[in-house]
Structure 1
Amino acid sequence: MSRTGTTTRDRTGRSRRTSPRRTSPGRSAASVTPLPSRRKPARTDRRRRRPVQLGLALVALAALLWLLFAGPLLTVSSLQVDGLRTLPAEQVREAAGIERGTPLLRVDVDAAEARVARLPQIASVEVTRGWPDSVVITVVERVPVAIVGPPGERSLVDAEGVLFDMVTGEPPAGVVPLDVADPRPGDPATLAALAAISALPADVRAGVAGAAATGPEDIALTLDDGTQVRWGDASESAAKAAALGGLIEQLASGALEPAETIDVSTPDAVVLR
């Protein structure tokens, strides 16, 4: 006859399954103490260092600015002038108005260029800083091509028609006396005559006693021996100058009979009279 009920084994197994787990009093969840964070002091230190670092950076920046703009190291001790032909270097330095001892960064190069450019003899100028202690003034002087005006009031003229220097004595070698009604940069007759003179080789120009232009299409030269040269306008000036140079050589050698007038207005068909 079978029996129903609970055996000791069943009771023991069920008891094991239903009995709660025991925990050590020292390990209870309520008694665990969290570890203190180690990041807070590091963050605090960084925050404290920031004002110090910022202050040091500002001090360094102020020192650098003082060194550049007011310090004694990067100051002008020399004024170098390049490109001079006839002007004295001291005249250019005085015109620049840059004092020795001025910090280089405080030198106004644009203002210095403007002051030097006012000199009549200067065609162009550039002022640059030469680190650590110099200023370089590079100039291009005007090159005289002709001389205009009555004796005692004569002025040198460059190829652009700019009157830039008074001459009381003899003009420089190769400078041709020019007779025009209104010598100035914008005058057509002046510019045409200057173009003709500029085209002449140095040896030919040295034998020209004078030039005249009643208009831009009526240029004439007078040689040292009195020969008249009809030039016409300023077109083909290089070809006209070459033709005139060849004729002068032939006349000097006796290959051609002397002529009172040489017409080079058409350079490939010159006429001697």
Structure 2
Amino acid sequence: MSRAGSTTRDRARARRGSTPDRGTAVTPLRARRRTRRRTHPRRRLLAVLGAVLVLAGLVAWAVLGSSLLAVGTVQVDGTELLAEEAVVQAAGIPAGTPLARVDTEGAAARVAALPQVAAVEVTRGWPDTVVVTVTERVAVAVVERDGTRQLIDADGVLFDTITGDPPSGAVPLAVTDPGPEDPATAAALAALTSLPADVAEEVAGAAALSADDVRLAFTDGREVVWGSAEQADRKARVLEALLEQIDAGTLEPARTLDVSTPDAVVLR
């Protein structure tokens, strides 16, 4: 027994009694920590997903439903004969329409229905512009149909009525039934479009009695017997060479140049 009245065994028991039981005190604490570690990433993931959904909703609203990205301008490019107002009206795109909701294919189809339009493309120009790019038909000749003078392009499409002077490069063309399905019209247009620029400038008019009888009248009074649409490029090269030789004095002048058979030219 010690002086304090307790034995060594009593002190040992006291020390053992003060030591916590690891099996009952520590394990619940570790479990709580593990639980917290598992729940925190889930909460963060849910928070991120929620923020993404909110942001996506705001973006969708701004693009599809608000006036922030709406049509403010319809821009027209590529027109010379057509008035821009006519193209805008044909496109039919109301101002204030959300840009993402603009039916570009439908607008292009409506503009393409204009007779003067050969091709059209409608695109979005963010943030508030629709761009309509037009390729107009190019007049090759002027024909008379139903008592009116009309412009005709290289495909034989009649696309505009005129009362005054025709556009530069468009010459009078005499055919019985002008149009894209008429063989005589197609043959005459093949001749006109195959000519080199310097030769085409000298052409005063053309006539096609049939698909095999195309004739060109020049400003100086000369006539070219062209024939059919076959070998049009070959005929154009031969005609250019003949005119150069006549102008240079190496060939006798002729009033009629028959290139209907380009390998057997006849000058009269």
TM range (shorter): 0.7 to 0.9
Per the alignment, do residues 31 and 265 of structure 1 end up closer, same or farther by CA in structure 2, a change over 3 Å counting?
A: closer
Per the alignment, do residues 256 and 100 of structure 1 end up closer, same or farther by CA in structure 2, a change over 3 Å counting?
A: same
**Alpha-carbon separation, structure 2, partners of 1:83 and 1:243:** 36
Match of 1:3 in 2: none
**Alpha-carbon separation, structure 1, partners of 2:146 and 2:39:** 90
Q: 2:200 aligns with which of 202, 205, 228?
A: 205
Tell whether the 8 Å contact from 2:203 to 2:216 is kept in structure 1 after alignment: yes
Structure 2 residue identity aligned to 1:222: A
Tell whether the 8 Å contact from 2:203 to 2:219 is kept in structure 1 after alignment: yes
SS in 1 for 2:86: helix
**Alpha-carbon separation, structure 2, partners of 1:201 and 1:121:** 25
Give percent identity, aligned residues only. Answer: 55
What are the within-5 Å matches in structure 2 for residues 103-252 of structure 1? 103-150=98-145, 152-251=147-246
Tell whether the 8 Å contact from 2:145 to 2:178 is kept in structure 1 after alignment: no
SS in 1 for 2:27: coil
Please give the per-residue CA displacement for 1:201-242, whole angstroms capped at 9, x wherever unaligned.
Answer: 333223323222233322222223443321122222223223
Structure 1 residue identity aligned to 2:23: V
Per the alignment, do residues 192 and 31 of structure 1 end up closer, same or farther by CA in structure 2, a change over 3 Å counting?
A: closer
SS in 2 for 1:32: helix
Per the alignment, do residues 221 and 43 of structure 1 end up closer, same or farther by CA in structure 2, a change over 3 Å counting?
A: same
Tell whether the 8 Å contact from 1:176 to 1:205 is kept in structure 2 after alignment: no
Please give the per-residue CA displacement for 1:30-59, whole angstroms capped at 9, x wherever unaligned.
Answer: 983151102223444555666555443332
**Alpha-carbon separation, structure 2, partners of 1:261 and 1:270:** 11
**Alpha-carbon separation, structure 2, partners of 1:203 and 1:197:** 12
Structure 2 residue identity aligned to 1:35: T
Please give the per-residue CA displacement for 1:176-200, whole angstroms capped at 9, x wherever unaligned.
Answer: 2222233222322221210101112
Asked if 1:64 corresponds to 2:55, the answer is no
**Alpha-carbon separation, structure 2, partners of 1:190 and 1:50:** 72
**Alpha-carbon separation, structure 1, partners of 2:187 and 2:22:** 111
Per the alignment, do residues 159 and 42 of structure 1 end up closer, same or farther by CA in structure 2, a change over 3 Å counting?
A: same
**Alpha-carbon separation, structure 2, partners of 1:54 and 1:135:** 35
Give the deviation of 1:166 after TM superposition: 0.9
Greater Cα shift, 262-271 or 58-67: 262-271
Structure 2 residue identity aligned to 1:135: V
Give the deviation of 1:26 after TM superposition: 5.5
SS in 1 for 2:97: coil
**Alpha-carbon separation, structure 1, partners of 2:187 and 2:247:** 28
Give the deviation of 1:127 after TM superposition: 1.0
Structure 1 residue identity aligned to 2:142: I
**Alpha-carbon separation, structure 1, partners of 2:206 and 2:71:** 48
Per the alignment, do residues 39 and 221 of structure 1 end up closer, same or farther by CA in structure 2, a change over 3 Å counting?
A: same
Q: 2:23 aligns with which of 22, 29, 32?
A: 32
TM normalised by structure 2 equals 0.80
Match of 1:267 in 2: 262
Per the alignment, do residues 40 and 120 of structure 1 end up closer, same or farther by CA in structure 2, a change over 3 Å counting?
A: same
Structure 1 residue identity aligned to 2:262: P
Tell whether the 8 Å contact from 1:152 to 1:168 is kept in structure 2 after alignment: no
Q: 1:97 aligns with which of 87, 92, 109?
A: 92
> Computing the radius of gyration over CA atoms, which structure comes out larger, 1 or 2?
1
For structure 2, list consecutive stretches of 5 or more residues without a partner in the other structure: 1-14
